[in-house]
Amino acid sequence: MTDTTAKTDIEYINGLLENALLRLRAVRGRFYPDKNFGSNIRYELPESEILSEARLAVSELDGVYVKSIEKTDNSVLIFNLVLNDDEREVELQYD
């Protein structure tokens, strides 16, 4: 693998991650051109419902899968994402 190929792969994975985060944070129905963009994630929901909402939010992104979620203190959710076989963990705060 050349340096250029590795850099391109990293940029692609980072792009997938950014798109996934946008979809997980955006409130479904509030984005005018696409009313299905985003999610209905709320911290108060049970973890199983949050996981379902998260998977629905990223379902249109090829190569992105929400493996699991975890609730922590202070309204923070940890999302374990798989991006083209590369696993990432991100934290998002929901009010």
- Tell me the whole-structure pTM to 2 decimals: 0.88
Phi, psi angle pair for 36, to nearest 5°: -95, 0
Of the candidates 50, 87, 88, 55, which has an alpha carbon nearest to the alpha carbon of residue 70? 50
Tokens representing 29 are 């129905």
Tens digit of pLDDT for each residue in 72-94?
988 999 999 999 989 999 999 99
pLDDT for the residue 48: 97
Give pLDDT, residue 7.
72
Q: What is the mean pLDDT of residues 24-33?
A: 91
Separation CA 40–CA 15 (nearest Å): 22
> Cβ(27)–Cβ(35) under 8 Å?
no
Q: What is the mean pLDDT of residues 7-26?
A: 91
Contact present, 19 and 34 (Cβ < 8 Å) = no
Place of tokens 């050349």: 2
